[in-house]
Structure 1
Amino acid sequence: MRSDAQLLLLDKDVVESLLTTGDVLTAVERAFELHRLGEGRVFPLIRESLRTGGVFGIKAGDVQSESLLGFKAAGFWPSNRSQGSEPHQATIMLIDPATGRPLCVIDGNAITTMRTGAAGGLGLRALARPGSRRLCVFGTGVQARIQVMFALHMIPAIASIRYLTAARAADAGFESCFSDRCEISHATDANEAVSASDIVITATPGGGALFSADAVQPGTHLNCVGADTKGKRELPEGMLERVRLFVDDRVQARQIGEAQWTPDVACAELGDVLAAPEKVSRRPEDITVFDMTGLALQDLTVAQMLYERADKSNLGTRVPWPW
């Protein structure tokens, strides 16, 4: 037995100290490229409801040429809110593909938040109309905040934000995050807010349609985050039939994303757009949708970056793990 083997543990504080916007964007864009080339594999998704009221899932994949293998065990436990905790929970494990031994266990909450925000930012850069100035966001939680943060980073022209909440009440904390960057205001009429916007971001639990299909004006781009499980949706019926649809992964989007409701609608994968943006001719009147379900490769490329950086800097906790 190898008695000197160790397992590296990276907790929340270490992860957050190492995550930067630029590095995560680079890692996530690399994940899209690996997926496009077929060098990175996405394994069949596990996503199941629990008797506790939670939803548990596993996203796994590998990049054989880079000896990268791992998975994220994650889900949504709404009852955590009553305990003052975050309902989204995630843990990532990197594994040595040559031996099957675990290399690193990583708190996945911040990684999930950041990589999803980065994916949304890349979608906006590729698909939103240049010069888009008016943004509408549904939700004010962790994911809504990171989506808006990356939107402002990637689309400097954004000058105003209108946000909507399930309780139809203003969120002072949310406003304070962005008030020094642009005009921000609470809206109560979803259709009016959508119709007046160039970009719409939906970042809710996916409990149902958030607005009417006819509220979306020609030229609008939508990033849809909340549909990540069978039965979830944020877009109204009939919406996808009149848009240009983009996804992170066709199979996964048709299983758990907005595309589950119209699986026969043609779609393109964002990785192809990022690799050759000149091949995507966006007419000013086109309505575009990025159906975001989250790739295992995004978690793994970010996790690999953190693992290498933590190992080099001697960060984290090393636990004896003989074999």
Structure 2
Amino acid sequence: MLVLGRSQVEALIDMDALIDALAQAMADLSAGRASAPDRIAVLVPEKEGFLAAMPGYAPSTGVLMTKLVSLFPRNAGTLLPTHQAVIVVFDPATGAPSALLDGTAVTAARTGACSALSARLLAREEATVLAVLGTGVQARSHARAMCRVRPIREVRVAGRDPAKAAALATELTSVLDADVQAVPTYSEALDGAHVAAATTHALEPVVHRPWLTPGVHVTSVGYNPAGREIDDATIADALVCVESRHAALAPFPAGSNDLLMPIRHGIITPEHVHAELGELVSGDKPGRTSPDQITLYKSVGVAVQDAVAAALVVTAARMRSVGEEIMLA
């Protein structure tokens, strides 16, 4: 069995290849060619956390896998990530386990990459200003991924802790060909932004409709069992897209409060979800229809994303052959 730790997985992930592979995987999911059943989770209510199992099969990459992922929002601000995971890859021909991967790095990369895919499909071609809301793992992943699909020249970082926002801005300055600045508030980050990446565990929305510039593309990947990132007015006004309608509108903890709450409040109906990413990729549904239209991608994460990322990592590892940094057990 191939065993890959976090640093090895990070070194083997090709973000451009991952974004491209996710496009096919999302199309397969929407067309019913990929298998990604509802995730199941055990709750740890005293910590507001859960442990979930996410099996998936993506025929476009020939990978069968399952991810075990824990989500503990209270880890935010500590040395531990809020999301921690392992992935086991199986041979789709025999069912034999073939690889064990650190899933934390895969989750970080595939989430940012799929948000970048949504920007490729929905953001304006000339988008140059990116707002990053949050200062954690996903903030880093999204800043790097978005710059792969749009000519981003300015990045504004905002978070609850100004010191962490400043530190992330300094870090990103060294790896991005853009002017990266920390700003004091979410509203300042969003003012004039062409793309916005919300990556928080916010209890109250960090994206409010009056703060948004016409034509902005918003991505939201944050999770809080009692909260949400996006306000009702933004959801109501935006062209809303998801990975999977079934997953996004499923009951807690699988679905998204950002959509479920306005549905419960009577602000929108389930039909307000315009399209799945796969339907945009295949052309079955149209994307942006005007330069001033606000578009929004709400992510809850689906297993085929992990499957595609794991397949790329395992293929890259085997192509490089077994070296000192890759252990065969």
Q: TM-score, with normalisation over the residues of structure 2?
A: 0.85
Matched residue, 1:318: 328
CA contact (8 A) 1:198 1:220 kept: yes
1:122, CA displacement in angstroms? 1.0
Secondary structure of the 1:207 match is coil
**Following the alignment from structure 1 to structure 2, what is the Cα–Cα distance between the partners of residues 63 and 220?**
32
1:8, CA displacement in angstroms? 2.4
User: How big is each residue's C-alpha offset from its partner over 1:215-256, in whole Å with a ceiling of 9 and x where there is no partner?
Assistant: 2232111011103x6544100123211110011111111132
Look up the equivalent residue of 2:135 and give its one-letter code.
T
1:222 and 2:212 correspond: no
Equivalent of 1:308, from 304, 315, 321?
A: 315
**Following the alignment from structure 2 to structure 1, what is the Cα–Cα distance between the partners of residues 72 and 288?**
41
1:274 and 2:289 correspond: no
| Aligned positions, number | 311
More displaced 10-residue stretch of structure 1: 23-32 or 111-120: 23-32
CA contact (8 A) 2:86 2:100 kept: yes
Q: Following superposition of structure 1 onto structure 2, how do residues 90-109 of structure 1 map, counting pairs within 5 Å?
A: 90-109=85-104
Q: Following superposition of structure 1 onto structure 2, how do residues 113-192 of structure 1 map, counting pairs within 5 Å?
A: 113-156=108-151, 158-169=152-163, 171-179=165-173, 181-192=177-188
Secondary structure of the 1:40 match is coil
User: How big is each residue's C-alpha offset from its partner over 1:258-300, in whole Å with a ceiling of 9 and x where there is no partner?
Assistant: 2222352232011121233994342012110011122211111
Matched residue, 1:112: 107
Q: TM-score, with normalisation over the residues of structure 1?
A: 0.86
1:127, CA displacement in angstroms? 0.6
CA contact (8 A) 1:230 1:260 kept: no
CA contact (8 A) 1:250 1:267 kept: no
CA contact (8 A) 2:170 2:180 kept: no
Q: Which has the larger radius of gyration?
A: 1
Q: Following superposition of structure 1 onto structure 2, how do residues 198-237 of structure 1 map, counting pairs within 5 Å?
A: 198-227=194-223, 230-237=225-232
Gaps of 5+ in 1: 1-6
Matched residue, 2:15: 21
User: How big is each residue's C-alpha offset from its partner over 1:15-63, in whole Å with a ceiling of 9 and x where there is no partner?
Assistant: 2231122232233223212213321111111234215623211221214
More displaced 10-residue stretch of structure 1: 277-286 or 210-219: 277-286
Matched residue, 1:297: 304
**Following the alignment from structure 2 to structure 1, what is the Cα–Cα distance between the partners of residues 77 and 116?**
31
Q: Following superposition of structure 1 onto structure 2, how do residues 11-90 of structure 1 map, counting pairs within 5 Å?
A: 11-50=5-44, 53=47, 54-63=49-58, 68-78=63-73, 84-90=79-85
CA contact (8 A) 1:24 1:118 kept: yes
Gaps of 5+ in 2: 264-268
User: How has the CA–CA distance of structure 1 residues 145 and 67 changed in structure 2, closer, same or farther, with 3 Å as cutoff?
Assistant: closer
User: How big is each residue's C-alpha offset from its partner over 1:82-140, in whole Å with a ceiling of 9 and x where there is no partner?
Assistant: 87333321110112345443221111111111111111111111111121122211112
Look up the equivalent residue of 1:209 and give its one-letter code.
P
User: How has the CA–CA distance of structure 1 residues 278 and 131 changed in structure 2, closer, same or farther, with 3 Å as cutoff?
Assistant: farther
1:287 and 2:294 correspond: yes
